[in-house]
Structure 1
């Protein structure tokens, strides 16, 4: 059987089974052994491994004497096609823990194998939650191994995940402490990785989380408790954390992670960066909260400091990687989708009933506006000072009151109708998108016709409908645009076959 696995000979496999039908059962009964699937996986015999796995699926989860499953061995050997084939049959294999409690994802991150990390996250996004025997997440391992590109991808996955419970998962993973309570931020400051610190600050990581020694990341920097001696980088990270903490305390502008529009044309060492910190220091405190220009200045110094540094030392992200920033609209979309996905069916039904009632009231207001409608073509008998002629069927309320009241009501109706449709059914088919737009458009047009009928004049009607109509038109297109944008970015990350096959 070993010879058949080494050769990848499927015919020999079945020949051995004909001679002894229980040959795979006996191998499976052995507690820790290199099965034919282990051998084939490590050598890259994908067809043989697939055949053996289909014949005896339990072999795929079996540990050998070294504590590795077949998927572990394929990962360690960089067998991308083999990994893809195994996960195509059983995607949960990536969550099987081996030696030291590490999963294949942990080993791929440790070795910086970006292609395999993408495949694992594509097949099983929840595998990012698995921890080792030392309570380390894959983020801890990526930071400890100084694999910044892998770390950035993992953070992007955590921040954009739309799975049920992903909001809580994002917070837990970014602030998870290992067996000594160190989060990814603690490890980053101990190993002096400013780029990692900046990504974590952008991701709203907890700055006041303490490890088992009772130290925050900033306290570790102030005490000089780190694994490397790099005073310049330490000062840069201290200023970053101080500004971020002051910004949160004073509810100021969030930390900006993008580079200046006109980056420096010459390389500058970390020493040059710290020469400017004295001018920045003092601006980042609670009494004098940092402005956007101040935080940009610190970021600018960090970018200059890292310019020209060896990629292996500071883990600068590869130039081929797509941007990781999440803009305000994308953040809003992700938060809304997460809330929607976390809502139970019972709560969803209650919210739907409430939205329908709101929409009914908002539509009924046009049919029966406050104060009523003029019933005849003459002056209001209760207001003899008003000499204007009021056409029958127009509102009695004053022009200014009518303007603001109907503006807010129309805006509420535009948002409510889209909310009902998105909450009721959010199918991905093209025909559903067309029907959704058509249904909402016809309903809103009927509303506008009714509103125009009761308006005192067309000028007032035009002022009222500008903002609600704009919101009504842009809201579904903005939703679809953000959805497509995130899907394209995710697809570029996870299924870039050319880059995956390059590992």
Structure 2
């Protein structure tokens, strides 16, 4: 330890401490992370609790350091003397919780979680880093199943990060790389986790629009040629004779029925059946009838 730092600690001289830190912001990094570290921590918070919020390279505070080292005692002390230190962010917009999760500091993580719960600060768990990851995303990526299980009780499991990925998306990606245990995926699935694709299925209206684009972009179907042969062309519904509409509708139903009987039984989901029927009518040139009726 720097002699000046030691003398400042012995004399209780805060000004001298600040002077040393101003000359060498990283002087504390050279201290042995055992007894001397704990002695310095005790002295710091005793004389000036705001020192808990002093930032070094990367905007990292002593609280961040303690959390990353899984030093639950120092984490508890820091939070007790300086509650606002929980709100400090690193240069990458990471909270203290992010740091503890990344390093797998489970004991420190539990202290942080308990403190947030007791002081109604759970909202901080929703804060995201610069990549839009909340602590749950980070816990999945860091392969921390116990942390994932605990965080699910406080966070919505299907929140997207800035890349549009959910926690389950991150799991599948990391799993393919062999970096995450299957237990993490089991926990997520048990909590009804979904991928981004599963959460954003196109609506029936969107499907109609897509099919309309395909329909108008393609050539005339066989049935459309029949319509033209009957000189129906493009008309409003009230301009097409009712008898003709009824005949064409019967033909469409017969074709659709024959097609479905020849195929495998479709799923029981009524929405799927509606979408598939709509697609069939379009591809068979009967989409015109869809709008008539």
Q: TM-score, normalised by structure 1?
A: 0.35
Residues 370-396 of structure 1 show CA distances to partners (whole Å, capped at 9, x for unaligned) of: xxxxxxxxxxxxxxxxxxxxxxxxxxx
Structure 1 residue aligned with 2:11: 51
Structure 2 residue aligned with 1:83: 41
Structure 1 residue aligned with 2:108: 150
Structure 2 residue aligned with 1:121: 79
| Residue 240, structure 1, aligned to residue 190, structure 2 | yes
Say if 1:136 and 1:69 are closer, same or farther in 2 by CA, change over 3 A: farther
Structure 1 residue aligned with 2:92: 134
Q: CA deviation at 1:221?
A: 2.5
Q: Which runs of 5+ in 1 are unaligned?
A: 7-35, 162-166, 245-503
- Asked if structure 2 preserves the Cα contact closer than 8 Å seen for 1:137 and 1:176, the reply is yes
- C-alpha distance in 2, partners of 1:156/1:227? 33
Structure 2 residue aligned with 1:456: none
- RMSD (Å), alpha carbons: 3.0
Which residue, out of 84, 92, 95, partners 2:53? Answer: 95
- C-alpha distance in 2, partners of 1:53/1:240? 55
Which residue, out of 160, 167, 174, partners 1:210? Answer: 160
Q: CA deviation at 1:95?
A: 0.2
Q: CA deviation at 1:206?
A: 2.9
Q: How many residues align?
A: 194
| Residue 170, structure 1, aligned to residue 122, structure 2 | yes
Q: CA deviation at 1:156?
A: 0.6
- Asked if structure 2 preserves the Cα contact closer than 8 Å seen for 1:80 and 1:115, the reply is no
Which residue, out of 178, 188, 206, partners 2:139? Answer: 188
- Asked if structure 2 preserves the Cα contact closer than 8 Å seen for 1:220 and 1:226, the reply is no
Q: Which runs of 5+ in 2 are unaligned?
A: 195-293
Q: Within 5 Å, give how 1:260-271 maps onto structure 2.
A: none
Higher relative contact order (CA closer than 8 Å, sequence separation 6+): 1
Q: Rg: which structure is higher?
A: 2
Say if 1:57 and 1:114 are closer, same or farther in 2 by CA, change over 3 A: same
Q: TM-score, normalised by structure 2?
A: 0.58
Q: CA deviation at 1:157?
A: 0.7
- C-alpha distance in 2, partners of 1:232/1:80? 38
Q: CA deviation at 1:223?
A: 4.5
Say if 1:121 and 1:136 are closer, same or farther in 2 by CA, change over 3 A: same
Q: Within 5 Å, give how 1:357-368 maps onto structure 2.
A: none
- C-alpha distance in 2, partners of 1:129/1:110? 16
Say if 1:150 and 1:54 are closer, same or farther in 2 by CA, change over 3 A: closer
- C-alpha distance in 1, partners of 2:89/2:176? 24
- C-alpha distance in 1, partners of 2:82/2:176? 35
SS in 1 for 2:110: helix
Structure 1 residue aligned with 2:239: none
